[in-house]
Amino acid sequence: MDAQENATQPPFNSICSTRQVPYSYEILQNLDITGMLLFAMLTFMTLVSLLVFLEEAYYMYRKMPSPKNSILIWINSGAMMIATTSCFGMWIPRSTMFTDFTASVFLAMLIHKFQLMLVNECGGRREFLRKFGDTKLKISTGPLCCCCLCLPHKDINRRTLFILKLGTFQFAFLRPVLMFLAVVLWTNGNFVIGNSSADNATIWINVGVGIITITALWAVGIMFNLVRNTLSEKNIIPKFAVYQFTVILSQLQTSIINILGTAGVISCVPPLPGPSRASYMNQQLLIMEMFLVTVICRVLYRRRYDDKNLLENQETNDNLQNSMMHLNGKALEDGPQSVF
């Protein structure tokens, strides 16, 4: 009877028990034709995302005034960098901690720069305060205080705007710091993905990242609810939807898949143990998703109103140059004036 049960059970594999992340050559040796085609397609999509971003960054750098061009370049780089780091993580599974660290830096900058873009599209800080100085700020919004309808509305002034900017700046600063700390502890064995014990640093770093992320998203949500009617002609609602899509996929989707891999829902398939296979699947999904986001961003951020503003700026510069030339010509005709 025991012999029959042992015959029906799958053979024991040490990889599934040790959960050791495989090397890249082990992944490539176990790829079939379908896997090779999938790797080639995902790598090609990553290269296309990179080329689309480079073309868009060149256009913004040449055609748009500063600091608007730098803000938009940072925003458009988020999806491209997530796809690129996911591609590296797919080819080299042991580099996941380093690719996650790089992606987290660009995601943090994306959230902060998106809020700065909302202020910049309103004409800058002074114009923003002039437009909304008499408006009450609603802070009972998601994802932090969407149920707290009793919260009072706040006046909009320099201090309020500074606090909202601080809400995203703290994320842009603290998120890379926490991820760098996680990488350092991971090299020493103190940070293990999926370990939720209180004695391990993983749970505390993840809680800290969750708190600062929710705070930053809350600050952006408050700002968006304030300016969405004013910036409706600049297609701000689709831009905000794509921004949220990027954040949700890179954060919530990754967390859910990693939890499923740690819990054993995503089973071990040698040479990939459960947690590594979960990261492997998530990276492949992110490449396809961020490819779509990169293409959509190129459509949304190259708008007619940008061309109109460029023409207006060009006309203003031409008028100034013509005025200067007229004044210089008149001065030459009058000749030097003698002063006694």
For 209-218, write each residue's pLDDT tens digit. 889 988 898 8
> Closest Cα to residue 59, out of 296, 306, 234, 291?
306
C-beta separation of 283 from 270 below 8 A? no
The verdict on residue 17 lying in a domain is no
Which amino acid is present at 262?
Answer: T
Tokens 């350092």 sit on residue: 184
Percent over 70 (pLDDT), the chain: 78
Backbone torsions φ then ψ of 80, nearest 5 degrees: -60, -45
Look at residue 17 in the predicted model and tell me its pLDDT: 61
The verdict on residue 291 lying in a domain is yes
Tokens 């926490």 sit on residue: 178
The rounded radius of gyration (Å) of the Cα atoms in the chain is 26
- Quick one: tokens of 310? 């460029």
- The CATH number covering residue 184 comes to 1.20.1070
C-beta separation of 294 from 36 below 8 A? no
Look at residue 149 in the predicted model and tell me its pLDDT: 62
Name the domain count of the chain: 1
The verdict on residue 5 lying in a domain is no
The verdict on residue 220 lying in a domain is yes
The verdict on residue 23 lying in a domain is no
CA-CA distance, 224 to 119, in Å (whole number)?
10
pTM of the model as a whole: 0.80
CA-CA distance, 183 to 233, in Å (whole number)?
43
The verdict on residue 214 lying in a domain is yes
Q: Coil, strand or helix: which one is 10?
A: coil
Percent over 90 (pLDDT), the chain: 23
In the DSSP assignment, the letter for residue 316 is: H
Q: Which residues pair with 269 in a beta bridge?
A: 272
Q: Coil, strand or helix: which one is 340?
A: coil
For 295-326, write each residue's pLDDT tens digit. 999 888 876 544 445 444 554 455 545 555 55
Q: What is the mean pLDDT of the chain?
A: 80
Confidence of residue 50 (pLDDT cuts 50, 70, 90): very high
- Quick one: tokens of 143? 């994802």
C-beta separation of 99 from 74 below 8 A? no
C-beta separation of 223 from 164 below 8 A? yes
> How far is the CA of 334 from the CAs of 82, 104, 323, 325, 331, in angstroms?
63, 64, 17, 14, 5
CA-CA distance, 25 to 166, in Å (whole number)?
45
For 251-285, write each residue's pLDDT tens digit. 888 888 888 887 778 887 777 787 888 888 999 99
Q: Coil, strand or helix: which one is 136?
A: strand
Please state at what angle helix 236-248 crosses helix 96-121, rounded to 10 degrees.
160
**Least confident interval from 122-131, 194-203, 305-314:** 305-314
The verdict on residue 9 lying in a domain is no
Taking 3-state DSSP, the helix, strand and coil percentages for the chain, each rounded to the nearest 5, stand at 75, 0, 25
The verdict on residue 219 lying in a domain is yes
CA-CA distance, 21 to 201, in Å (whole number)?
20
The H or E element that residue 137 is part of is strand 136-137
Q: Number of helices (H) and strands (E) in the chain: give both, helices first.
A: 13, 2
Of the chain, the end-to-end C-alpha distance in Å amounts to 123
Domain span holding position 256? 32-302
Please state the rounded mean pLDDT for residues 16-31. 78
